[in-house]
Structure 1
Amino acid sequence: MLTMKVRIQTAANQTEVEVVIFAPVDSHEAQSIKTLLEKVPSETKSLTFYQGTTKYYLKPSQILFFETDGRQIHAHTINDVYVTKHRLYELEEQLPNSFIRISKSAIINVDHVLSITRSISNCLVQFQNSHKQVYASRRYYKQLQERLNEMR
């Protein structure tokens, strides 16, 4: 049986919650706790998106993936496509752990992944309840596979 100490320490200058796990080397229990904590939904604020002159406020959980098209970043939901003024690197920093970069030009929400079809040159990612799909590059495939295994 796993015995565990839990301690909360507060600090006046602390601006966000930080969790540190002290564990023996190669502790499977510590890895399980880390995975569970990462799944806890964060109070991520809505992001601003645009369609023409209309401004929309969407939660990140509604987004299937982000991709670049020329100099614009498009956010894809199940039924719509929006434009955002953020760059991919900015989105990577702001988005919850369920998002991962899969190529130089795309970030996906692994919570919405239905399937991955791997070929010699690339990897096709398909999404639940949507006809939309995006390609992952070979360079990011291993990270994508690891993240999907962690999340499932």
Structure 2
Amino acid sequence: MKVECKISPDYKEPYAVLYINRMTHGIAGIISLLEKEEMDSLTLIGAKEKKAFFLKPEEIVLVRTEGREIVCYDKLKNRYMLDKPLYELENILDIQFVRISKSSIINIHQINHVEAGFNGTMEVVMKNGVTDYISRNFRKVFKERLGLK
């Protein structure tokens, strides 16, 4: 891959353009790293009632797939549609978020409580009342992130 970097005080903020013939996991990772560079000013855009809302990560309680849509819930239980895939959101969101299943990511600072569920799952109830399940495959990582054994 050829890489070109131009440095000038005339540039107000970094801007990258990639010319690719197909998306690969490596390129997706590079894009995620570049986007993380702007983490302090990270704001997601969520759609609700044909309006665009700017959401800061600390306002987000849960992100998950619902059917074919990627949605998030905020502290007031408002539901927004997002335009980024879940794997990309997982890479963008910071350390306060943890993946709990193939289809959900939660803000660990917004957990109200966790209960044992069926088939080795655990139900997590968020402070805003939204519930989801921590699958067996993600339980170990979840417990480690909370400092549990």
TM-score, normalised to structure 2's length?
0.68
1:70-81 superposed matches below 5 A: 70-79=67-76, 80-81=78-79
Give the letter for the 1:58 counterpart.
Answer: L
Is 1:53 paired with 2:50?
yes
Question: Structure 1: which 5+ residue stretches go unaligned?
Answer: 1-11, 13-41
Contact map agreement 1:75 1:82 (CA 8 A) in 2: yes
1:35 alignment partner in structure 2:
none
Find the partner of 2:130 among 132, 136, 141: 132
Contact map agreement 1:65 1:77 (CA 8 A) in 2: yes
State the secondary structure of the residue aligned to 2:94.
coil
Tell me the CA shift for residue 98 of structure 1: 0.8
1:118 alignment partner in structure 2:
116
CA 1:138/1:44 → structure 2, altered by over 3 Å: closer, same or farther? farther
Find the partner of 1:107 among 105, 108, 114: 105
1:68 alignment partner in structure 2:
65
Cα distance between partner residues in 1 of 2:130 and 2:42: 25
Cα distance between partner residues in 2 of 1:44 and 1:135: 30
State the secondary structure of the residue aligned to 2:100.
strand
Give the letter for the 1:119 counterpart.
Answer: G
Tell me the CA shift for residue 149 of structure 1: 1.6
State the secondary structure of the residue aligned to 1:131.
coil
Question: Structure 2: which 5+ residue stretches go unaligned?
Answer: 1-6, 8-38
Q: Which segments of structure 1 move beyond 3 Å, counting only runs of 4 or more?
A: none
1:14-33 superposed matches below 5 A: none
Identity of matched residues, %: 30
Segment of structure 1 superposing worse, 118-127 or 45-54: 118-127
